[in-house]
Structure 1
């Protein structure tokens, strides 16, 4: 359980500088991730020259130029009379008509979507690729027909029809690929920003904890000097010492809270929840917390119960037990049980205290604070964060005849 509990060790300045270095490294990694994902097209790499109206206009001109060229070739072929006998002229006009419509629709969509040049390059590339592939397939088929004697010469009207069809299909595919690429790049940008923010918050957290500890140590030192000069015990000095210990404890919880918030599913591990619960209760029972020495603890748990959970799950149980002791208005009596169902592991902590205030429970369940409704500490917040990292649930309710019951439910299917 000692691994789960945040110990009071002083954070050095080097830690802050290390975090700052990791912040820069994280930024570089995020930037390289975005840059490294650029794809290459005939008009330059996707992601390059994303700024500039000239680049966008140039690529759009290429796209419209290809469409205009297809229309011109189609008209020349049809006017030249190279059509299959018996087929109406309108049938062969469908290809050029489709090309004109898709070019108009794609151009309008590009302007409305505010694409960057690299994304337009993607559309142009796919449109050209589709036209070339379809035309090549049509030419191959026509020459095969000539070889077997079905035709004396290739029918160019058919080739032009397939050419237009390839342009249409390629344009559709290019638009969808451009959409997907834009979403991917947007997600990469947001991920990079989130990583930078997380690293910045980590640095801020470490620096604040270091400064808080330094100032509190100074206050405790002067309080000790005053206590030596005071013959009888001074309640004011005891209050100063108590509040200093509270501030240090809060700094420790902030460190654990940061780890819990930044935790991911990948940080889970197989743990014996029954063993973690026993360690959590022992840690509180042997601590110097108010009322811990006089409290009565009862633990009912199987010899072992393995689940896949966040490494701090033991700390979450310890926080619940500690709250049951510290916030009690009489001799604390805390009962902790660990049970299992076919799908879950259930940890239940019941005490005989005054109960958890309703506003605390509301803030915990709603997941946000306001000026009129807020929590008095980090304890239950951390428990909630850690339990969520386990894909578990947290339930609080009043006990009879008094006190409160807190229940943690953790799925155990992933550990079976």
Structure 2
């Protein structure tokens, strides 16, 4: 259904074109003037009105949104007002000099036609200029974001790979010595190697995020249930509770499942208790779906919180891994927000807000997990 603004925009353009063309046609039929007067007083202005009508037809085939069509119609009306005002001032001046124009109505109609056409051209130029500026601003923002992602990825990878490699090398040296804790050292080496593998997986996911930010519609409840099932199987010692209210489909980045999985994993692996507890809730409020992940751990360190609060990383404040950065970027690319709250007496709650998808249905087939 077309909006009121679009309808008014088309009415302004086609209305001026049709009315002025009809006036010129009637004037030409009734006038018995010379051929020159007919050409310059009727035929050429009629062609100008026809051009304005064709411009309106061209506008209907452009991918302008309702507000831009309304803006072009506004410029047409503004052009008519300005031109008619100028014509009226000229007539008043000539009248003050004792000169009385014949066919003053036709002169006014001519002013309307030319003003509407000039207004149309100005309106189209203004819309295209603003559209170009918006597109360039979006590209600049995307470029700045990509640069930040590449800087963070490079810095975090160098930091984490170096640290974990040092751990592996150190404990590998201990294995060559006469040490009774061979089993413990081997366990640490294995865990660190798994951390490196996980780091590589996250790096691959960020590469996917950088190369393709296409969105898809997905049933958030089904997605969260899948990730909860996965986490429960990988961490049987953890207690993952769910509380699902009404939740609709969301249009999000294809890596949304990775973001949810990272939040659940982070709530478990950083909890030193024997049985970490995580509570996942979903509820729908208006046009937003809220996902909350609450834990009873020690809380997220200050350096980790900087990922969400400032959205940037410095040499001094450095997130320990790329998992939280990945979550932040995926949610941001899904037109969502991420907030953190400290729980009493201990723990952290991560609150994710995502917009409800405009289209009906859900499709999880295009989600990327690897």
Alpha-carbon distance between aligned partners in 2 of 1:366 and 1:196, rounded to the nearest angstrom: 18
| Residue 235 (structure 2) pairs with residue 350 (structure 1) | no
Aligned mate of 1:249, from 170, 180, 198: 198
Hey, what's the Cα distance between the residues in 1 that align with 2:283 and 2:112?
63
Matched residue SS, 2:239: strand
Q: Relative to structure 1, is the Cα distance of residues 336 and 312 closer, same or farther in structure 2, using a 3 angstrom cutoff?
A: farther
Contact map agreement 1:261 1:385 (CA 8 A) in 2: no
Corresponding residue of 1:271: 219
- Aligned pair partner of 2:30 in 142, 145, 149: 145
Pairing 1:298–2:245 present = no
Match of 2:345 among 395, 401, 405: 401
1:364 is displaced (CA, Å) by: 0.4
Distance 1:410 1:206 in 2: 25
Any gaps of 5 or more consecutive residues in structure 2? 1-17, 46-106, 155-161, 362-370
CA distance 1:371–1:403, change in 2 (3 Å):
same
1:366 alignment partner in structure 2:
310
Q: Is residue 312 from structure 1 mapped to residue 255 from structure 2 by the alignment?
A: yes
Aligned pair partner of 1:280 in 227, 244, 258: 227
Give 1:253 deviation, angstroms. 1.0
Deviation per residue, 1:103-123 (Å, 9 max, x gap): xxxxxxxxxxxxxxxxxxxxx
What is aligned with 2:323?
Answer: 379
Contact 2:282 2:289 in 1 (8 A): yes
Match of 1:45 in 2: none
Supply the RMSD in Å over aligned alpha carbons: 5.3
- Relative to structure 1, the CA distance from residue 190 to residue 136 in structure 2 (aligned partners, 3 Å threshold; closer, same or farther) is same
1:327 paired with 2:270, answer yes
- Consecutive unaligned residues of structure 1, counting only runs of 5 or more, are 1-132, 208-214
Partners in 1 of 2:152 and 2:324 — Cα distance? 19
* Cα contact 1:399–1:405 (8 A) shared by 2: yes
Matching residue of 2:368: none
Question: For the structure 1 residues 368 and 340, does the alpha-carbon distance in structure 2 shift closer, same or farther, using more than 3 Å as the test?
Answer: same
Cα separation, partners in 2 of 1:201 and 1:240, compared to 1, 3 Å: same
For the residues of structure 2 that align with 1:171 and 1:205, how far apart are their CA atoms?
Answer: 51
Alignment map for 1:17-32 (pairs within 5 Å): none
User: Structure 1 residues 221 and 263 mapped into 2: Cα distance closer, same or farther (>3 Å)?
Assistant: same
Residues 95-114 of structure 1 mapped to structure 2, 5 A cutoff:
none
